[in-house]
Amino acid sequence: MELVNLLGLPRAELEGFVADRLGAKFFRARQLMKWIYRRGAADFATMSDLAKDFRAQLETVARISVPEIVTEQLSNDGTRKWMLRMDQVQGIETVYIPEPARGTLCISSQVGCAMDCSFCATAQQGFNRNLSVAEIVGQVWLANRELAAAPSGSHRITNIVFMGMGEPLANYRNVVPAMRIFMDDLGYDLSRRRVTLSTSGLVPQIYKLAEECNVALAVSLHAPNDALRDQLVPINRRHPIAELLAACWHYIERQNGRSVTFEYVMLDGINDAPEHARELARLLRGHPAKLNLIPFNAFPGTRYRRSGAAVIVRFRDILNEHGVIATIRKTRGDDIDAACGQLAGQVKDRTISRMGSRLTAEPRAVAEVR
């Protein structure tokens, strides 16, 4: 009989497992959650406040299994990047970004990505599979363990962002349970504003998320009109900007949120003209929106270049002058290819074609997102 991995079981499922499989009271599940997430335990024998016979039962039916760290890199600015083994050949990357008042963990949701955004290194790797709940939560578990063992010992995770490899809403069934664990007071006890899901624009799933899970929403916009966004973000051919924005405003209204963060990578001579800024202002002005301007981070084989610093500042200023809050993201970890858009992982088996190629052949045909 295969052992059940308790890492990644939301509270209700863990309570059901403890009651149905082990005949124990629900409070045992709460004890387990504290040991797994608060204390980072992976060995039932160390869980000293659990009865010995209960621990013996657990050994026969359950396990706490986390991904294996293949490599770790440390940037000059303190950013850390881990390559994690998902199976015999597949690997994903997770990044920790320290700041004076916070520590952000950027996690992955898939091995590779099928969205085919042309400026993203992950998209160029192709797509293999979705990560399980345990593999998603395991990134946080491992990062907590590694940071606790670091020489400074003062690093901690205050924010989690789904901005690593993959499209989170294309792995909806596993991402949402993981986010619930992040926000559970027996899990990682993060507020909804400290868990951010970034999507390229899967509109049906944004509406579904609005009914089921309240987290901060970030949207990869990258263009102010459909003609340009069709080229940069192929999912736009299925869900154009007007449809995407309607879903965003619904999400904020339904979840009583503050605003949507729109991500906009600055590409030299592509989307960085003053008129592009004015178009963006017309789209977003008067709505609960913030714009995060991201200097493009190069990767091998890309045809794009980063917009000049003065161009980015002028772009920001035009937006601010037109009533749209815009900030420039500071580039972190680019010396270890850990900056935004640079995560590539190790995708050895590209079993699914890219979104762009499918949409070019059949503009309205998109793989079902479960």
Cα 12 → chain centroid: 23
Q: Any idea which residue has 């190629």 for tokens?
A: 357
Task: Assess contact for 291 and 262: CB atoms under 8 A.
Answer: yes
- For residues 233 and 98, give the distance between their C-alpha atoms in angstroms, rounded to a whole number: 29
Residues labelled catalytic: 93, 340
Q: Residues 6 or more apart from 31 whose CB is under 8 A from it?
A: 47, 49, 50
Tokens of 109: 């949701």
- Tell me the angle at which helices 309-321 and 274-284 cross, rounded to the nearest 10 degrees: 30
- For residues 310 and 316, give the distance between their C-alpha atoms in angstroms, rounded to a whole number: 10
* Helix, strand, coil percent content, the chain, rounded in steps of 5: 40, 20, 40
- For residues 107 and 198, give the distance between their C-alpha atoms in angstroms, rounded to a whole number: 11
- For residues 43 and 22, give the distance between their C-alpha atoms in angstroms, rounded to a whole number: 18
Q: How many C-beta neighbours within 10 Å does residue 224 have?
A: 22
- For residues 276 and 224, give the distance between their C-alpha atoms in angstroms, rounded to a whole number: 6
Distances (CA, A) of 168 to 178, 198, 238, 261: 11, 7, 17, 16
Tokens of 30: 């709460």
Q: Any idea which residue has 């939560």 for tokens?
A: 137
Max alpha carbon distance in the chain (Å)? Answer: 69
Helix (H, G, I), strand (E, B) or coil at 291: strand
Task: Assess contact for 117 and 202: CB atoms under 8 A.
Answer: no
